Amino acid sequence: MEYADIIHRCFRCGYCKFTREYQDFNCPTYRKFWFETYSPGGRMWLLRAWLNGEVQSSKRMAEIFYSCVTCGNCVEHCALDFRDNLVDIFVAARGEMVEKGLVLPPVRDYLKNIRIHGNPYKEPQQERARWADGLGIEQYAGQEYLLYIGCVGSYDERGTKIARAVASVLKKTGLSAGILGNKEPCDGNEVRLLGESELFQEMARQNITMFKELGVKKIVTLSPHSYNAFKNEYRELDGNFEVLHYTEALNRLVEEGKVSFSGLNETVTYHDPCYLGRHNDVFDAPRNILRAIPGLALAEMSKIKKNALCCGGGGGNFFTDIIGSGEGAPGRDRIREALETGAKAVATACPQCAKMLEDAAKAEGVEDRIKVMDIAEIVEAAGMRTAAD
Amino acid sequence: MARIYEALAEIVGKEYISDQAEELFIYSRDPGTMDPKKPDYVVLPRTTEEVQAVIHLANREKVPVVPLGGGLALSGLSRPLKAGIVLDMKRMNKILEVNEKSRYVVVEAGVSQGMLQAYLKKNYPHLKHSIPDSPPAATIAGNVLIHGSGHLSQATGFHSEMLNGMEVVLPTGEICKVGSCSATPYWFSRAPLPDLAGLFLGWHGTTGVVTKLAIKLYPNPALKDVMIFLTENPDHMPDILFKVTGTEMVEDLNVSATQLPDYMEGLQLTLIYVTANTSDELAFKERTIRETLRSYIDEKEGGFMVVPTFAKGRFLEAPLREMTKFSDTKKGGGFEYVGAIMPIELFPKAYRKGVEIAAKYDTPYSMAIRIIGRAHCMMFAYAYAFNRADENDRKNAQRALHESNTVALEMGGIPWKAEEPAQQLILKQMNPETIKLMNKIRAVLDPNGIMNPGNWEVR
């Protein structure tokens, strides 16, 4: 297995479980399960034992590895030199499980659906652009940007609402962008994270070829997960596109004074999506947009940016839900943290986070106390104005 | 077995018990060199009452119980030597009370050093507790119970001396309070009552399960600095430590001596931590300390190192992340140390023995010394990094540690948080009447012998 030569170097000191200032455990699975096995260090030691034959393959072993949300908190806070490889090591372990046929049914189903249907929802490809009905969004035909929506934005009930908001906002700004519509493929980010690296590479190469043939140079994404795949993983496969998350594109226009807002009298807190924040260092763009809205008060949670707690949907868990629900579910913890700020809305910039947090608010019974909104939805509610207005 | 599992699941909830191979593997070992010992069950209690119910069950079923805090003692103390139930206490993680004026905090036994540190920083920035250099996942309770030490130990002694009181589930299941909390609503002190805390301190979990405890807090001055005094002759160290502590101006005092990197070989670095509320106060203290060591400077026997500002951060960090990085010395993920408690006049001998033992086991020497209570004694650590992937290297470090324990005892020191084999070394030279007393106490407290059996037992 890749990285097999370094997994023994974990001392299991536990820095990886915390935030930088140690105020709380911040590894979502450790917080949920409380067994050391579900901590990054526990996984490292178990992985070595598994590869050495000291523990055997089991359903629990698969649960321990597939419950990891790949949020990168461990990478951020590990005290040792191999920290950058931690998530990669856990993904490589999943790869071993895929190869040996040891994955759990939800993981198997996800990968099967991608292979057969091209999306995890088992929806027909010709329905992929239904989210855009009536919006008048242009098809991509050489515009400056390809607006990439992704599977969640295309098919998920909550995701499609966010996709509509993002596309509408960008359209109104006059950004030169087009979508692929029913031709849009899955980006493969979760396929890679679930351990199917060969399938991911196959998908990525096809997508890169398609994008190049269409003359795509710049991509703006709805989802941080797509953003991560295009920006970091496609590059290694010769897919060198300029990639922006939509909040970065919008923030540029805010900074240039090309868009402004009527205002919104609301106290809002912001949840950092892991694949936008910790994995890609985009912390300021979404916050700058919120701060530019007159009347909006940004109330930060105690754990933000590199110390933000994951919603629980990363690493494929949005689809597989191996980490599971219950009072200790990361999304519910995060909603409780959001409530502590006194905010009436929690903003995020990821359709997966939005759905996870919205479900968590319902499970906590607080959906009437706090709304979950994408930045684009807040921007719409705040009455975005452009030069044309 | 199924009956015990079901009963434990009934007590803590089925999510918080495991008899699965994965948990039994992880909970059979710690990051040190000791051989693994497998538990039968791992249980994560949430309340004192759940701990009590587990203890009652263990008595009925005659199953051993081993309490676990952060699991970072490194000497294998939380390995279940005779199997049974490992009680991982980390779900009991509430900070219950801070008494600001009397400067103490009451916490549950699973509260980590890191969480208390962050909590005080946010809510009571003028107060702090003594932070050990173990990683932040180490628990307050675990460190107090092993007689740990930390950043305020030079000024105030072992962490066990900072204990004000505790709640303990006795081996027979009674919930008992010790200290002022046994008679009043306050947790201010162990005095003036009979000091029953000694029944639980240093016993490695063989006399009960501590579920709550109160520790002292201390003022947190606004400024902190480190001065580093360099010497090349260990014979000077007792006098240097005596003089520096004599100034009454030092918060923390450590000595570091390592063979790597090469240019550090043969040096002793005395790290002198000074705190103050104003820059004038800090300057005065540092000037006084410099003057105290003037003779060594004049005779060219020592000098203060110029520590660039960029380098100070890693010395001033609490806890020191550098300590964890030592585990990566051999790119092997392992280290353990013998931290022998001994009088400071033994420094030169202890130092030379450390160099000798390391050479014998073909490993670079690395020694770290923390001064306890104004040089009333010191914790002299012989640290050995090892490669976890190399069984021979792990065994080599284990042998080096055992020899270090032996030598520490021969010199007149006592191994701290001693591994089970080192406990045997200590017991071998302990006063027989003391051993009898220990056995009597255990027989009374724990008639069924369920609490962490195999520790502090005369073979």
- Same-domain pairing of A281 and A350: yes
Residue A128 belongs to domain with CATH number: 3.40.50
Angle between helix B391-411 and helix B420-429 axes, rounded to 10 deg: 20
| Residue where a domain terminates, one of A43, A74, A103 | A103
Q: Which residue of chain A comes nearest to B27, CA vs CA?
A: A36
Tell if the CB–CB gap between B335 and A11 is shorter than 8 Å: yes
Q: Which residue among A235, A251, A267 closes a domain?
A: A251
Q: Do A202 and A296 reside in the same domain of the chain?
A: no
DSSP class of residue A258 equals S
**Would you kindly state where each structural domain of chain B is located, as residue ranges?**
2-90, 93-219, 223-418
By residue count, chain A amounts to 389
Cα separation of A341 and B305, whole Å?
47
Provide the pLDDT confidence category of residue B418 given band limits of 50, 70 and 90: very high
Residue identified by tokens 């740990």 is B148
Tell me the pLDDT of chain B averaged across its residues: 97
For position B310, what pLDDT does the model report?
A: 82
The whole-angstrom separation of Cα A281 and Cα A277 is 5
The token duo for A306 is 């590199």
Q: How far apart are CA B293 and CA A214, in angstroms?
A: 76
- Do residues A243 and A134 both lie within one domain? yes
Please report residues of B whose CB lies closer than 8 A to that of A55.
21-22, 25
Q: Please return the burial class of B338, using the count of CB atoms within 10 Å of its CB with bins 0-12, 13-18 and 19+.
A: buried
Confidence of residue B234 (pLDDT cuts 50, 70, 90): very high
Residue B459 has pLDDT above 80, yes or no: no
Residues A51 and A164 in one domain: no
Whether residue A59 is contained in a domain is answered as yes
Burial degree of A100 (CB within 10 A; 0-12, 13-18, 19+): exposed
pLDDT interval class at A323 (50, 70, 90): very high
In a domain, residue A5? The reply is no
Considering the domain architecture, whether residues A128 and A243 belong to the same structural domain is answered as yes
What pLDDT is recorded for position A28?
A: 98
Fold of the domain spanning B93-219:
3.30.465
Instruction: State the best of A35, A47, A57 to mutate against chain B, taking most chain B CBs within 10 Å.
Output: A35
Q: What is the mean pLDDT of residues A216-227?
A: 98
Instruction: Name the helix (H) or strand (E) containing A385.
Output: strand A384-386
Å from B91 to nearest chain A CA?
A: 7
- Per the listing, tokens 């990197």 go with B261
State both tokens at B440: 């009597």
**Structurally, how many domains does chain A consist of?**
3
Q: Which residues of A touch B (CB under 8 A)?
A: 6, 8-15, 17-19, 21-24, 33-37, 42, 45-46, 48-49, 54-56, 58, 60-61, 64, 79-81, 326
Nearest CA in chain A to B135: A13
Tell whether A153 is covered by a domain. Answer: yes
Output the 3-class SS for A229-249. Answer: HHHHHHHHHCCCCEEEEHHHH
Distance between CA A229 and CA A194 in Å, rounded? 13
Sign for the pseudo-dihedral over CA of A355, A361, A362, A367: negative
Cα separation, B377 vs A386, in Å, equals 73
A291 plus A378 within the same structural domain:
yes
Q: Give which of A176, A171, A170 is closest to A145, Cα–Cα.
A: A176
How do strand A345-348 and strand A371-374 relate by DSSP bridges? Answer: parallel
Q: Are residues A73 and A171 in the same domain?
A: no
- How many pairs of residues across A and B have Cβ atoms under 8 Å apart? 109
pLDDT in tens, A178-203: 999 999 999 999 999 999 999 999 99
DSSP H/E element including A259: strand A259-261
- One-letter identity of residue B13: G
The boundaries of the domain holding residue A159 are: 124-251
Using a CB-CB cut-off of 8 Å, the residues of chain B touching A42 are 26
Is there a contact between A12 and B23 if contact means CB atoms under 8 Å apart? no
For B:267-296, CB contacts with A below 8 A are: none
pLDDT at res. B323: 86
End-to-end CA gap in chain B: 28
CB contact under 8 A, A24 and B135: no
Residue A224 maps to a domain? yes
| Residue bearing tokens 């490669």 | B387
Inter-chain residue contact B115 with A23, CB threshold 8 Å: yes
pLDDT tens digit sequence for B55-71: 999 999 999 999 999 99
Q: Which of A184, A219, A251 is the last residue of a domain?
A: A251
* A210: in domain: yes
The predicted pLDDT at position B75 comes to 96
Cβ–Cβ gap A58/B72 under 8 Å: no
CA–CA distance, B55 with B59 (Å, rounded to integer): 6
Is A223 inside a domain boundary?
yes
Residue A186's pLDDT is: 98
CATH superfamily of B223-418: FAD-linked oxidases, C-terminal domain (3.40.462.10)
3-state secondary structure of A213: helix
Residues A150 and A174 in one domain: yes
A244 and A332 assigned to the same domain = no
How confident is the model over B275-332, as pLDDT tens digits?
A: 999 999 999 999 999 999 999 999 999 999 998 888 888 899 999 988 899 899 999 9
CB burial of residue B220 (10 Å; 0-12, 13-18, 19+): middle
Give which of A5, A13, A51, A65 to mutate to test B binding, by max B Cβ within 10 Å.
A13
Over residues A324-353, mean pLDDT: 97
* pLDDT number for residue B308: 86
Considering only CB atoms, B115 lies closest to which of A13, A22, A49, namely A22
CATH number at residue A343: 3.40.50.10700
Question: What tokens appear for B99 in the block?
Answer: 């008494």
CA dihedral B278, B282, B285, B291 (to 10 degrees): -140
Strands A296-298 and A266-270 turn out to be: parallel
Judge whether B93-219 and B223-418 match in fold. no
Mean pLDDT of chain A: 97
At residue B95 the predicted structure's pLDDT band, cuts being 50, 70 and 90, is very high
Q: What's the pLDDT band for A389 if we cut at 50, 70, 90?
A: confident
Mean pLDDT value across residues B360-376 = 96
The residue type at B170: L
- Could you give the C-alpha distances from B81 to A263, B64, B75, B128, in angstroms and in order? 66, 9, 13, 36
3-state secondary structure (DSSP) of residue A56: coil
User: CB–CB of A37 and B325 under 8 A?
Assistant: no
Whether omega for the bond prior to residue B185 falls within 30 degrees of 0, making it cis, is no
Exposed e or buried b for every residue in A14-24, given b needs 16+ CB within 10 A? bbbbbbeebbb
The CA-atom distances, in angstroms, between A300 and each of A314, A328, B91 are 22, 22, 27
pLDDT at B209: 98
> What are the chain A neighbours of B87 within 8 Å (beta carbons)?
none
Amino acid at A148: Y
| Cα A266 off chain centre by | 25
Are residues B22 and A24, on separate chains, in Cβ contact within 8 Å? Answer: no
Q: Whose CA is closest to B327, among B368, B383, B257?
A: B383
Select from A6, A60, A326 the Cβ nearest to the Cβ of B22. A60
One domain, residues A277 and A210: no
A4 within some domain: no
Q: How far apart are CA A354 and CA B416, in angstroms?
A: 51
Q: Which of A9, A45, A58 sits opposite B328 (nearest CB)?
A: A9
Asked if the bond preceding B192 is cis, omega within 30° of 0, the reply is yes
Model confidence pLDDT, tens digit, residues B10-52: 999 999 999 999 999 999 999 999 999 999 999 999 999 999 9
What CATH fold (topology level) applies to the domain B2-90?
A: 3.30.43
Could you tell me if residue A342 is inside a domain? yes
